[in-house]
Structure 1
Amino acid sequence: MDLVQLLGENVRRLRKERGLSQEELAFQAGMKRSYLSDIERGTRNPSVRALERIAEALAVAPDMLIKVQ
């Protein structure tokens, strides 16, 4: 599986498990909702800093965002 797609699927799954909307997670991560949406769809190659902010907002270790479930 493509790493960017895996990342997007994991972010979406973790976000939904926490009951967050894209808008809420994007706000907590300090980014635009459209940027987060692109990440979840696997159409954006995010920066390492963006991954750190998403992981922090989801309260997970950054490596959890790219683990195969």
Structure 2
Amino acid sequence: MGMITISGMKLRKLRKSKGMTIKELADELGLSSSTVGMYERGERSPNVKTLYRLAHFFFCRCRLLS
């Protein structure tokens, strides 16, 4: 599966809107805290499967995260 560029700022905003820490979001998605932190800082991009998991968790379309 390919990698998708997402907006770290949008991801951080969505996470904070749910009152979650990076660790809480990572645990919910089965990811490491460092991975979620890298997504938010724009140092890493999720694969397609993870992008869909993020969109499903936040009840949004994948486009909202890019």
TM-score above 0.5, yes or no = yes
Residue type matched to 2:10 in 1? N
Tell me the equivalent position of 2:53.
Answer: 53
Tell me the equivalent position of 2:41.
Answer: 41
Q: % of aligned pairs identical?
A: 33
Measure the CA separation in 1 of the matches of 2:51 and 2:29: 9
Normalised by the length of structure 1, the TM-score is: 0.78
- What are structure 2's unaligned runs of at least 5 residues? none
- What are structure 1's unaligned runs of at least 5 residues? none
- CA deviation digits over 1:18-63, x for unaligned, max 9? 1111111111112111100000000002211111111222222222
Residue type matched to 2:29 in 1? A
Three-state SS of the structure 1 residue aligned to 2:43 is coil
Q: Higher helix share goes to which structure?
A: 1
Q: Which runs of 4+ in 1 moved over 2 A?
A: none
Tell me the equivalent position of 1:7.
Answer: 7
Normalised by the length of structure 2, the TM-score is: 0.81
